[in-house]
Amino acid sequence: MGFQKIAQIGVPAKNIERALQFYKDVLELPLLFHTDSMAFFDCNGVRLLVSLPEKEEFTNASSVIYYQVADIKEH
């Protein structure tokens, strides 16, 4: 299919401050940057996005995996 690697995994969180503490302090993942609603960590070259759900119906959603491809229009 032309997938090169997993570029990013999105994980929903109900509380960003608590998630920041867990991923940064407990798991010791390097924090790339964060805002009021999301945080990005480096997980050995794969970016981990922890974010508040955009809509209420996504509160209990599972993780989202983002694949990197050379040319998205080709697929």
- Structure token pair of residue 22: 């867990």
CA distance 37 to 30: 18
Which is higher by pLDDT, 33 or 73? 33
Q: pTM of whole model > 0.85?
A: no
pLDDT in tens, 31-65: 999 999 999 999 889 999 999 987 776 666 677 77
Integer distance in angstroms from the first to the last C-alpha of the chain?
7
Please give the tally of structural domains in the chain: 1
Nearest-angstrom CA–CA distance, 69 and 4: 5
Instruction: Inform me whether the pLDDT recorded for 17 exceeds 90.
Output: yes
Domain that holds residue 32: 3-74
CATH of the domain at 33: 3.10.180.10
